[in-house]
């Protein structure tokens, strides 16, 4: 009975440690900050800069679409749709990279606690 209680207490202590370590990334901003905590943070910075640049292009194409003459609306409409697709793809890449970093961090934490 004492061994079971000891094991239960150890597991609860490890669970609390893991919860404390993972608490910093429970919010969206905390989750997205993890992308900058890896060795490839420069690549994430380029991705975010690209997303901001594409947002400006998206707004410009949308403005030009709504203010264009009828014979230019198709061109600006296609540019707007393409810029939306590029924006979605860029943000998807950012979330995928952040998720990869998050999962590798979590696996390292679990592996280190398993060795204890």
Q: What is the pLDDT of residue 1?
A: 64
Q: Quote the percentage of the chain above a pLDDT of 90.
A: 45
In the predicted model, is pLDDT for residue 17 greater than 70? Answer: no
pLDDT at position 16 = 72
Residue whose token pair is 């999962």: 103
**pLDDT for residue 109:** 78
Q: Which two tokens stand for residue 32?
A: 């997205």
Q: How many CB atoms lie within 10 A of CB 36?
A: 14
Q: Say which range, 17-26, 30-39, 45-54, 87-96, has the weakest mean pLDDT.
A: 17-26
Q: Which of 3-12, 49-58, 78-87 has the lowest mean pLDDT?
A: 3-12
Residue ranges of the domains in the chain?
A: 25-115
Tokens at 78, concatenated = 């296609």
**102: number of Cβ within 10 Å:** 18
Q: What is the mean pLDDT of residues 46-71?
A: 95
Are 97 and 35 in contact by the 8 Å Cβ rule? The answer is yes
Q: Is the pLDDT of residue 58 over 70?
A: yes
Q: Distance (Å, rounded) from C-alpha 83 to C-alpha 58?
A: 5
pTM over 0.85: no
Q: How far apart are alpha carbons 78 and 97 in whole angstroms?
A: 29
Mean pLDDT for all residues in the chain: 85
């Amino acid at each position: 009975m004492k061994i079971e209680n000891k094991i239960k207490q150890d597991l609860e202590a490890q669970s609390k440690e893991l919860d404390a370590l993972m608490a910093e990334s429970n919010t969206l901003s905390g989750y997205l900050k993890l992308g900058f905590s890896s060795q490839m943070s420069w690549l994430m910075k380029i991705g975010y800069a690209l997303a901001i640049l594409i947002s400006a292009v998206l707004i410009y194409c949308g403005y030009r679409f709504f203010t264009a003459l009828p014979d230019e609306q198709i061109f600006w409409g296609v540019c707007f749709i393409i810029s939306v697709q590029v924006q979605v793809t860029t943000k998807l890449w950012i979330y995928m990279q952040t998720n990869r970093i998050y999962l590798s961090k979590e696996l390292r934490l679990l592996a280190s606690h398993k060795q204890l």
